[in-house]
Amino acid sequence: MVEINALKHPLHQHVRQQAKLWCATLRQRGTWLTQALSQVDLFTRSFLLLSALMLASLGAWVLIFFSLEMGPRAAQMSQRIATSVNLTRSTLTYTPIAKRQAVLRSLSLREGLDVSMRIGLDEIEPLPSGRYWQRVAKLVRAQLGEETILAWSVNDVPGFWVSFRLDNEKYWLSFDRHEIRFTGGIEWLSWGAAALLLSLIGAAIGVSYINRPLARLARSAQLLSKGASPPPLPETGARELRTLNSSFNRMARDLHQANADRVLMLAGISHDLRTPLTRMRLEVELSAMHETGKSAIDQDLAQIEHSLAQLMDYARPASLEAPRALSVSSLLTELTERERCLTKHTGGTLTTSIQAGITARVSATDLRRILTNLIENARRYGNIDHEVPQLEVVLEGNSDSFKIKVSDRGPGIPVHDIPRVRKPFWRGNVARTGASGTGLGLAIVDRLLQHMEGELTFSARPGGGLTAQVEIFTDHVDG
C-alpha cells in the first residue's frame, strides 16, 4: 500500500499542477476579455451581449427541435419503408412467376419502387453512423425482422437499400435517399441564417433605441465640458430618462448662469480697477517725484495690470469657434516673429526651428493663447542671475500629432514640483526666484489643452534649462 501511494503521489501533484495552470490560463483570458470589452462603447457591449444571448437561445432551440423532431421523423420513415416492403412482398406472392418481371417494372415506373434480386456477391456499403439513420434502421428491423439487411449502396449504386425474402428468393428494395432523409443541410442552414440575421437586426435596433438617449446625453456633456451651451435634452421617454435629462438641463442652465455671472463680475472688476490705475499712472507722471520713485511706482502699476490681465485670461473660457483647417507652421512663424521683437526689446534672444507644411483642425485663438503664455513664462523665468534669456521654439509633427517645444536656459523645475506647476497661483520658490508673476500662465495653458485633446509635459533641456512641450493629437495633420 505504501508503494502504491508513493506511485500515485507524483501523479496527483501533476494533476494539481495542470489544474492550477489551466485555472491561471482561464483567469488570464478572462482578464484579457474584460480589458478588451472595457475599451468598446456601450452600444457595442450591449449589442454583443444581446447577440450572444440570442445565439445561445437559437442554438438551444435548434437542438431541442432536432431532438424532438428526429424520433417522429424516423418512426414515420421506418413505417413507410416497412409498408412498402410488405406491399411489394404481397404483390410478388400473388403474382405468377412468369409475370413477376413485368410487375416489378410496373412498380418501378408507377410507384418508384426499384426491386432487384439479391445475390451473395453484392458489394454492400453500410449505413452512415448518424443518429437518424441508425434509428431508422433499428425501427425497420423491429418491423421486418432482425435478419433484414440495410445498405447505403449496393454494387456502387446509391440509395437506401432494404433486403427481404420471398420463398427461397432474396430481393433488394431501393428507396431514394432524399425521400426519407431527415430535413437539414442547406435548408436548415438557410433558415438558421435567416433567423440569425433577423435576431441580429432586432438586437441592433433594440440596443440603438436604448443607447440613443445615453449617446445624446454624452454629446451634451462633452459640449458642456468645453464651455459650450448644449441644446436642452428632451424630457420624454421612460421615467428614469426624464429625470436624468431634466436634472442635466437644470445643471446646464445653472452652470451657464454661473459662468455668465463670473464673466460679468470679472469684467466689472477689470473696468473698475483699470480706471484708477490709469489715473494713478497719470498723476505719477505729472508729479514732481524723483525719477527713481516714478519708475518704481510705474513698475508696480505694470505688475498690477499684468496680474489683472492674467486673472481675466484664466477666467475667460476656451474659444467656442469650430476648429478649422489651419496652417500651424504659418501661425507659429507669425507669432514667433512678434515674440522675437519683444524678447529682443527685453535684452534676450529667441531662435526658432519650425517644420513647414503642418496643418491641423484646431482653434487659432486658443493656440495663440497657449503659445503666448508659454513664451511669456519662459521669458520671465528662463534666466539665471539676470542673464540674457535664451529662448528656443521648435515645431515638429507627424501623421498623428504635432509638438511645440518652448525651451529656456533657466534653473528649471525640480522633479517634485512638476505635478504642481499646472495649479493656479503656484510658483516655484526655490528654482525660479526673483521673478514676478501671478502663477497663472501654465494653468491657462493646461486648461486650454484640456479642450484641445492635448498634453503639456516638462523635461530638462540639454545643456541646462527647461523645455515645455505641447503635444496636440489630431486626425488631420500633414507633416
Domain ranges for the chain: 1-37, 40-225, 321-473
- Whether 472 has a pLDDT exceeding 80, the answer reads yes
Which pLDDT band holds residue 2 (cuts at 50, 70, 90)? very low
Do residues 461 and 407 make contact, with C-beta atoms less than 8 angstroms apart? Answer: yes
Does 97 or 157 have the greater pLDDT score?
Answer: 157
42-93 and 186-225 helices, crossing angle to 10°:
170
Helix extents (H) in 364-466:
364-381, 441-451
Amino acid at 47: F
Most confident listed range (304-308, 363-367, 440-444): 363-367
**Percent of the chain surpassing pLDDT 70:** 78
Alpha carbons 94 and 430: distance in angstroms, whole number = 122
CA atoms 81, 83, 85, 88: torsion sign: negative
**Is 321-473 a domain of CATH 3.60.21.10?**
no
Residue 205 has a pLDDT of: 82
Residue 431 has a pLDDT of: 41
pLDDT, one tens digit per residue, over 3-17 is 444 444 555 566 667
Residue 318 has a pLDDT of: 58
Fold for 40-225, please state it. Answer: Beta-Lactamase (3.30.450)
Residue 80 has a pLDDT of: 87
364-381 and 441-451 helices, crossing angle to 10°:
150
Contacts of 362 (CB under 8 A, 6+ apart): 323, 326, 328, 452, 472, 474
Alpha carbons 18 and 413: distance in angstroms, whole number = 54
Average pLDDT rounded to a whole number, residues 94-106 = 77
Alpha carbons 285 and 295: distance in angstroms, whole number = 10
Average pLDDT rounded to a whole number, residues 127-150 = 88
pLDDT, one tens digit per residue, over 69-79 is 677 888 888 88
Residue 322 has a pLDDT of: 59
Residue entry with cell 533641456: 461
Measured between alpha carbons, how far is residue 303 from residues 297, 299, 306 in Å?
10, 6, 5
**Percent of the chain surpassing pLDDT 90:** 4
Closest CA to 449 of 373, 378, 366: 366
Residue 395 has a pLDDT of: 92
DSSP annotation of 99 reads G
Contacts of 98 (CB under 8 A, 6+ apart): none
Average pLDDT rounded to a whole number, residues 170-197 = 75
Closest CA to 370 of 472, 287, 261, 295: 472
Share of the chain residues as helix, strand and coil, in percent rounded to the nearest 5: 60, 15, 25
DSSP annotation of 387 reads P
pLDDT, one tens digit per residue, over 291-348 is 777 777 777 777 677 666 666 666 666 555 656 778 889 999 999 998 888 888 878 8
DSSP annotation of 230 reads P
Radius of gyration of the chain (CA): 44
